[in-house]
């Protein structure tokens, strides 16, 4: 069997690729290079007799058949990137003079920077005084372009290496990139790298560990200057890997709260200010516990509703810069909670399913690939405690340091996180209040009150309850007596029901025990329930016969309120809005209840 011939190695291509890698990791050119497209293949408008040309939109077309050393390609690529970073690609009355002035200025810049080696067919030496491009341009317009400057460009002798007419940009949102801003970021990176080298933390300026991305700088900005989200930001890891972003279908950003990871797609091309906005967006998802508040809602629509709220707050607070990527923003929804917005969206699901989050179309930027069981309370704070404490501490620092006003809705939600959850017995009391209002009292001479000693001959009426108002004043209780029910749970539930029934003047409650079959205990006075009830059954769980028994009983009000005490291990029930459930904390029903669910501690 004949073996396939291996593709011969291309030394010229290898030298070029090595140069591209050097430029990509250089602190000055890294921000520019990440937003440009270096095209090295046939069929492109590369210079026939030169090395490379650059367009206004950020495309660098290199000669695919040109043989050069790695250092020569580094010089050529840096030359083209500097045209972008220094704002050279503009229209002038004398384009030849302007191109020559820019080429001379860049040659001086690279000579001082000592980066790369000029190709043999390019000249870099001159006796002219180089102040800036405009000064040189004015001189060339008056005196003409010196002959020697025809060899300073990367497109060959007397050819322009800048294409101002081609404005097609490789950018996430389209439009004209801000090349000068990216170059300023690179210069800032270079200063940081130089300090790191001087301090002995790294060995060279091109060390990639010295170059902080926009996402890393945004995280540092929150930790240093924005205490509201600084504590949260310090607890999350920033992942900037284009391969991972593609695999997870992340267009711009996403967050995994359980794993404490924020994903930022480096190909999105966000500026520093836009990156601050996006990171604040993701951190607020975590701090406000949107992943926990979903509670059976459609995850994507809930994500969209939360996005609307967060984006309106961030624009109002002026945190960073609103990205030009079509984020969800609607001023008509200002002041509404995420729950309210979700309720509005449910009316037109088809429309809202077409909206895009920071992750992309039809995908939520709150992802949960992590396993909540990894958060062992023995390791310290739980996830919810960490997010709540970090955001509350940040709010305290923000107010103490007078860092500016915050939207009232955001402050209310943060403060609400600090309040302990409502106890189940308090929620149960509200349920009783909804069905059993206080009885009206009337004055009656049928039972005369105690006479006063000062006027013993004057009888006074007594306040009494109206007898007719007690008619139908009752509720049903279905008690799951299967073997899986905890005795302490039964005692807590029955005790609370008895006390609330007595406090609201409910004379009787219809009590039914049920496991595999219902056992009707009839009407029982609240004080009897509180004293002692003989529980019948301890078999399996089939609660529907008990519901049918009460619903069809002639002596029970039609659609009367019903309390079902169970541990959740039951079959699916025919449910009504009036049904309420008492469940052990952490247990779930095998269906979505219409009425309230009280979690017993």
Q: What is the pLDDT of residues 548-589, one digit of tens each?
A: 888 888 888 887 888 888 887 777 677 777 788 888 877 777
Confidence bin at 464 (pLDDT 50/70/90): low
* pLDDT > 70 in the chain, percent: 80
Query: Average of pLDDT values for 259-277?
Result: 85
pLDDT at 441: 66
pLDDT for position 467: 53
Mean pLDDT for the stretch of residues 493-519: 83
Per DSSP bridges, beta strands 237-239 and 366-367 are: unpaired
Tens of pLDDT, residue by residue over 289-323, are 888 777 767 788 888 889 989 999 998 888 888 87
Contact 263, 248 (CB under 8 A): yes
Cβ burial of 444 (10 Å; 0-12, 13-18, 19+) is middle
pLDDT in the model for residue 446:
65
Give the chain's mean pLDDT: 79
Residues 527-539 have a mean pLDDT of 62
Q: Which of 259-273, 463-477, 504-518 has the lowest mean pLDDT?
A: 463-477
- Cα Dmax for the chain: 131
Map 49-81 to HEC letters: CCCEEEECCCEEEECCCCCCCHHHHHHHHHHHH
Nearest residue to 580 via CA among 437, 473, 424, 472: 424
The answer to whether the CB of 328 falls within 8 A of the CB of 357 is: yes
Checking if the pLDDT of 112 tops 60, the result is yes
Given this model, what pLDDT does residue 185 score? 76
CA separation for the pair 32, 181 (Å, rounded): 9
Query: How far apart, in Å, are the Cα atoms of 507 and each of 330, 433, 474, 526, 581?
Result: 53, 15, 7, 7, 22
* CA 35/CA 266 separation, integer angstroms: 9
- Sheet strands side by side (includes 237-239): 237-239, 261-264, 253-256, 366-367
- Please tell me which of 120-134, 428-442, 572-586 the model is most confident about, judged by mean pLDDT: 120-134
Mean per-residue pLDDT for 530-544? 64
> Tokens 């009036």 map to which residue?
578
- Could you read off the pLDDT of 44-55 as tens digits, one per residue? 888 988 999 999
178, 184, 189, 192: CA torsion to nearest 10: -160
Q: What is the pLDDT of residues 152-210, one digit of tens each?
A: 889 988 888 998 887 676 544 444 677 888 888 788 777 766 665 565 555 555 554 44
Q: Which two tokens stand for residue 412?
A: 């209310």
Most confident of 28-42, 66-80, 131-145, 528-542: 66-80
Neighbours of 440 (CB within 10 A): 8
What mean pLDDT comes out for the span 521-535?
Answer: 73
All domains of the chain in start order, with CATH: 11-182 (no CATH), 212-418 (no CATH), 468-600 (3.40.50.410)
For residues 599 and 424, the answer to whether their CB atoms sit within 8 Å is yes
Predicted local confidence at residue 210, as pLDDT: 47
Task: Identify the pLDDT of residue 238.
Answer: 92
Neighbours of 132 (CB within 10 A): 10
Average pLDDT over every residue of 395-411: 80
CA dist., res. 358 & res. 296, Å (int): 22
Report, as an integer, the average pLDDT of 17-38. 85
At 78 the pLDDT is 94
Average pLDDT over residues 424-436: 80
Backbone angles phi, psi at 363, to 5 degrees: -130, 140
- Please, which pLDDT band fits residue 4 given cuts at 50, 70 and 90? very low
**What pLDDT score does 364 carry?**
80
What is 305-357 written as a DSSP string? Answer: HHHHHHHHHHHHHT-S---SS-----GGGTT--HHHHHHHHHTTHHHHTT-B-
Give the per-residue pLDDT at 183.
Answer: 87
| Predicted confidence (pLDDT) per residue in 333-382, tens digit | 888 888 888 888 776 666 666 677 887 777 788 886 444 433 444 445 56
CA distances 186 to 179, 264, 271, 391, 438, Å, are: 11, 19, 12, 33, 72
Q: Please tell me the predicted confidence (pLDDT) of residue 73.
A: 94
């Amino acid at each position: 069997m004949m073996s396939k011939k291996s593709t011969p190695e291309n030394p010229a291509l290898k030298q070029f690729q090595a140069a591209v890698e050097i430029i990509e990791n250089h602190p000055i050119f890294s921000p520019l290079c990440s937003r440009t497209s270096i095209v090295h293949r046939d069929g492109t408008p590369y210079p026939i007799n030169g090395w490379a040309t650059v367009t206004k939109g950020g495309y660098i077309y290199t000669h695919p058949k040109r043989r050069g050393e790695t250092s020569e390609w580094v010089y050529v690529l840096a030359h083209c990137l500097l045209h972008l970073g220094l704002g050279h690609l503009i229209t002038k009355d004398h384009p030849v003079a302007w191109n020559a002035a820019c080429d001379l200025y860049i040659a001086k810049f690279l000579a001082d920077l000592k980066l790369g080696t000029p190709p043999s067919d390019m000249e870099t030496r001159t006796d002219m005084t180089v102040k800036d491009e405009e000064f040189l341009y004015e001189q060339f317009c008056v005196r003409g372009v010196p002959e020697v400057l025809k060899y300073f460009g990367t497109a060959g002798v007397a050819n322009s290496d800048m294409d101002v007419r081609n404005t097609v940009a490789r950018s996430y949102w389209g439009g004209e990139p801000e090349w000068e801003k990216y170059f300023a970021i690179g210069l800032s990176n270079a200063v940081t790298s130089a300090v790191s080298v001087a301090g002995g933390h790294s060995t060279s300026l091109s060390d990639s560990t010295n170059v902080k991305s926009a996402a890393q700088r945004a995280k540092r900005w929150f930790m240093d200057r924005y205490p509201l989200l600084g504590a949260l930001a310090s607890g999350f890891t920033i992942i900037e890997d284009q391969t991972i972003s593609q695999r997870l279908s992340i267009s711009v950003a996403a967050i995994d709260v359980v794993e404490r990871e924020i994903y930022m797609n480096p190909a999105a091309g966000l500026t520093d200010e836009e990156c601050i906005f996006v990171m604040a967006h993701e951190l607020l998802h975590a701090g406000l516990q949107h992943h926990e508040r979903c509670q059976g809602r459609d995850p994507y629509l809930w994500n969209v509703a939360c996005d609307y709220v967060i984006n309106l707050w961030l624009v109002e607070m002026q945190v960073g810069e609103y990205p030009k990527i079509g984020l969800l923003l609607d001023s008509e929804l200002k002041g509404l909670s995420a729950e309210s917005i979700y309720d509005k969206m449910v009316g037109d699901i088809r429309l809202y399913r077409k909206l895009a989050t920071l992750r992309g179309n039809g995908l939520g930027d709150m992802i949960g690939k992590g396993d909540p069981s990894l958060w062992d309370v023995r390791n310290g704070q739980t996830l919810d405690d960490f997010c709540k404490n970090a955001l509350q501490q940040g709010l305290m620092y923000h107010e103490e340091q007078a860092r500016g006003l915050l939207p009232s809705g955001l402050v209310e939600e943060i403060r609400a996180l600090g309040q302990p959850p409502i106890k189940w017995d308090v929620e149960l009391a509200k349920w009783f209040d909804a069905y059993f209002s206080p009885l009206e009292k009337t004055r009656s001479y049928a039972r005369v009150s105690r006479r006063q000693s000062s006027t013993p001959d004057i009888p006074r009426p007594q306040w009494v309850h109206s007898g007719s108002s007690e008619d139908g004043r009752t509720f049903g209780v279905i008690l799951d007596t299967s073997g899986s029910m905890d005795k302490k749970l039964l005692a807590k539930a029955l005790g609370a029901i008895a006390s609330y029934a007595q406090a609201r003047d409910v004379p009787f409650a219809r009590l039914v025990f049920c496991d595999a079959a219902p056992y009707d205990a009839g009407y029982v006075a609240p004080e009897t329930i509180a004293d002692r009830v003989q529980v019948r059954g301890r078999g399996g769980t089939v609660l529907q016969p008990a519901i049918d028994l009460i619903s069809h009983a002639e002596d029970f009000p039609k659609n009367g309120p019903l309390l079902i005490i169970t541990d959740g291990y039951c079959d699916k029930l025919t449910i009504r809005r009036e049904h309420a459930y008492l469940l052990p904390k952490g247990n779930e029903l095998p269906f979505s209840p219409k009425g309230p669910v009280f979690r017993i501690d």
